[in-house]
Amino acid sequence: MTAKNNFFQVERLLAPPIKRAAYSDRMAYVLGEMSGLAYFPYEGVDGILSDAAKQATEIILKEKGKDLEEFLSSFADKLYSNKDSNLQVFKAILDEAGFSHIQVFDKSTTQGFLCRRNVHDEPAYLVLAFRGTEQKIGDWLTDAQAIPTQKDGYRVHSGFYKAFNLVADDIKLALNDKACFDEHGKKLPLYITGHSLGGALALLATKYISHDEGGSCYTFGAPRVGDYEFFFDIKAPVYRVVNSSDIVPRVPLGAANQLLIGLVKGLGWLLGFSPQIKSLFDWAERQLDKLNGYRHHGDLRYLTDVQGGRFKEVRLVCNPPALDRLQWFWKHLKASFLTPLKSHSCLLYRLKLVEVANYRNKS
């Protein structure tokens, strides 16, 4: 008697991607450096705009139309040459490390770049890196737009979503460049990365752009981006690297937001002895409820604290329990209120990542 075969009924699922990239200390180091390099001002307008504004104002006040026309032409030339100069330096940095520049992206508050690993006898792959939050009002406003957008059954951070869509089409177009394919016409593995706001954009790119040809996403000090439903169709591995007591990965609030709503509700019940006070607590509860649902996605890699710049003492901890992380955070907060802010530095991430990679790859 033969039993009915109810196994392996879906044939198209019988060929899983066996080469999908696992976490690598060396790749974390490479992508940490790429995330730092994303802050390089390849758009090249440093110091020019302020001088130009001053000169243009003087010409306009004198009502010399021809002089203004000549000035604008000269300014355009300077701006272009400065941009070209910075971009050439940026390309040279990549080239020296064994990478070739494919394209940079620069739209309003969103910057990033795409490059390819080009070293003989090494597998080629692509890196898409996004710039994090800079000291610009536009970046701060992007971070502050935390009330999520409702889209296709999930919730996503409104500011991050808008910032990513500024360059989404440009990235998709760049990924069709011939440099993004191997000699057989197959897409190269794509590694996506970023620090801070750049990490949030990297996660959005992993959802909307990442293909199924290998690669993964590494974020460094990234904030929360969406809810559980948002992450459901992300296929590439995501590794979420968090340094010590970095405050940014703890915003917007996740599950703790529920506790905060409960606290506000309780205080409203205890102190709501007048309609005005009760109305205030009801308003606060509604505002907090708008921020509900934020969660993290990906495997957590935690970089331990070090004292006095002794980076050789850093350790990498895989998915430490929430209670441990809460205790560590509180310890750092008691030492200094500014520690959680200082821990967000991209340079600190890079200094620790290189020590971890060196230590774990001694042989």
| Distance between CA atoms of residues 260 and 253, nearest Å | 9
Q: What's the whole-number mean pLDDT along residues 52-81?
A: 56
Phi, psi of 185, rounded to the nearest 5 degrees: 85, 15
Residues 95, 97, 102: CA angle, nearest 5 degrees: 45
Confidence of residue 77 (pLDDT cuts 50, 70, 90): low
Return the pLDDT at 35: 97
| Distance between CA atoms of residues 218 and 35, nearest Å | 10
Decide: 133 and 40 in contact? Cβ < 8 Å: no
| Distance between CA atoms of residues 74 and 69, nearest Å | 9
Question: Is the predicted pLDDT of residue 48 greater than 70, yes or no?
Answer: no
Confidence of residue 162 (pLDDT cuts 50, 70, 90): very high
Maximum mean pLDDT: which of 52-56, 66-70, 176-180: 176-180
Tokens 């705009």 found at: 49
Query: In b/e form, how buried is each residue of 315-340, taking b as 16+ CB within 10 angstroms?
Result: ebeeeeeeeebeebbeebeeeeeebb
**Residue 74 or residue 130, greater confidence:** 130
Return the pLDDT at 67: 61
| Distance between CA atoms of residues 249 and 239, nearest Å | 13
Confidence of residue 74 (pLDDT cuts 50, 70, 90): low
Confidence of residue 1 (pLDDT cuts 50, 70, 90): low
What is the rounded average pLDDT for all residues in the chain?
86
Return the pLDDT at 18: 76
Least confident of 291-300, 306-315, 325-334: 325-334
Helices (H), the chain: 25-37, 48-61, 65-96, 137-144, 158-165, 168-174, 197-208, 228-231, 256-271, 275-290, 322-335, 339-342, 346-360
Query: Which amino acid does the sequence have at 194?
Result: G
| Distance between CA atoms of residues 198 and 160, nearest Å | 9
Q: What share of the chain is helix, strand, coil (3-state, %, to 5)?
A: 50, 15, 35
Q: What's the whole-number mean pLDDT along residues 216-239?
A: 96
Q: What is the pTM of this model?
A: 0.85
Return the pLDDT at 140: 74
| Distance between CA atoms of residues 154 and 293, nearest Å | 9
Q: What's the whole-number mean pLDDT along residues 115-135?
A: 93
Maximum mean pLDDT: which of 42-56, 187-201, 332-346: 187-201
Tokens 């409702």 found at: 150
| Distance between CA atoms of residues 232 and 303, nearest Å | 27
Question: Is the predicted pLDDT of residue 158 greater than 90, yes or no?
Answer: yes
Confidence of residue 46 (pLDDT cuts 50, 70, 90): very low
Rg (CA), the chain: 24
Decide: 234 and 215 in contact? Cβ < 8 Å: no
Superfamily name and number for 20-254+293-360 = Alpha/Beta hydrolase fold, catalytic domain (3.40.50.1820)
Return the pLDDT at 262: 87
Return the pLDDT at 56: 55
Q: What's the whole-number mean pLDDT along residues 228-256?
A: 93
Q: What's the whole-number mean pLDDT along residues 221-236?
A: 95
Question: Is the predicted pLDDT of residue 346 greater than 90, yes or no?
Answer: yes
Eight-state DSSP code of residue 181? B
Return the pLDDT at 157: 96
* pLDDT tens-digit readout, 279-297: 888 888 888 888 889 999 9
Provide the percentage of residues in the chain whose pLDDT is more than 70: 87
Return the pLDDT at 363: 61
Distance of CA 277 to the CA centre of its chain: 40
What is the number of alpha carbons within 13 Å of residue 238 lying toward its C-beta? 24
**Residue 76 or residue 262, greater confidence:** 262
Residue 247: Cβ within 10 Å count: 18
Return the pLDDT at 49: 45
Distance of CA 314 to the CA centre of its chain: 23
Q: Residues 6 or more apart from 170 whose CB is under 8 A from it?
A: 103, 105, 107
* Domain ranges within the chain, ordered by starting residue: 20-254+293-360, 255-292
Return the pLDDT at 47: 40
How is residue 18 written in tokens? 């066996």
Least confident of 69-78, 111-120, 194-203: 69-78
Q: Answer left, alpha or beta for residue 210, where phi above 0 means left and psi between -120 and 50 means alpha.
A: beta
Q: What's the whole-number mean pLDDT along residues 156-177?
A: 96
How is residue 208 written in tokens? 């909307």
**Residue 61 or residue 340, greater confidence:** 340
